[in-house]
Amino acid sequence: MPNLHNDLDNKPAKRKSRSILIGSIVAIIIALTPYIFYTYKYFPMNSSLDLYFFTYESKYQESISMVMWLFMAKFVPLLLLVLWFFTCKHWWYHVILIPIAMFAFQIVSVVYEDRFLDEVELYWLLPIMTIVIPFVYFIRLKLFDKHVLGIDLEAMDKEIKSYKEKEKQQKDHFKKEGIAKEKIS
């Protein structure tokens, strides 16, 4: 028969070791970002790149190296923002989605350089902003009410329900008394 006490004692240790592993991976990725950025130097100086599965040809930049420099200038901040989003424990972390969307859009505009997507970037970000900003503001209001003003909405709801229940019980009691008085009369 398994010892449940030992299993319960191991759960915090497993969680802690998993947290250390994830933290180490994140730290290594952050430490490698300068090297990731400078990989653009290893790309050819001509305007086309031949790979096994496709060929990329730069139509507006002088070289693939320049395209990769532009790409890495967008990709590295995007990578750091994604890491920040997934490791942030603050209530406002959803706001990080806005610059993530902006950098993702800029990467798409670098890859599809023959189209002028960057001109209407704000219009692509508006739907994301209209979802994220009210959501974050709602969270902020709830936190402000609870921690700054001391208003606990759940406690207020419970109190209102208890008052309604008491009121209902009193009405039922008065109805029973009224019925009893009618029977006596």
The answer on pLDDT for 125 being more than 70 is yes
Within a domain: 137: no
What mean pLDDT do residues 19-43 have? 92
> Domain range for residue 101?
4-121
Q: What is the pLDDT at residue 37?
A: 94
User: Is residue 169 in some structural domain?
Assistant: no
Let me know if residue 160 belongs to a domain: no
Domain annotation covers residue 42: yes
Give per-residue pLDDT as tens, 145-174.
666 566 666 777 787 888 888 888 888 877
pLDDT of residue 111: 80
Q: Is residue 31 part of a domain?
A: yes
Predicted TM-score of the model (pTM) = 0.63
Q: Name beta bridge partners: 56.
A: 49
Amino acid at site 18: R
Residue 104 lies in a domain: yes
8 A C-beta contact, residue 110 and residue 69: no
**Residue 44 domain-assigned?**
yes
Q: Is residue 151 part of a domain?
A: no
Q: Look at residue 43 in the predicted model and tell me its pLDDT.
A: 86
Residue 79 CA to residue 34 CA, distance in Å, equals 12
Percent helix / strand / coil, the chain, rounded to 5: 80, 5, 20
Neighbours of 152 (CB within 10 A): 14
- Domain count of the fold of the chain: 1
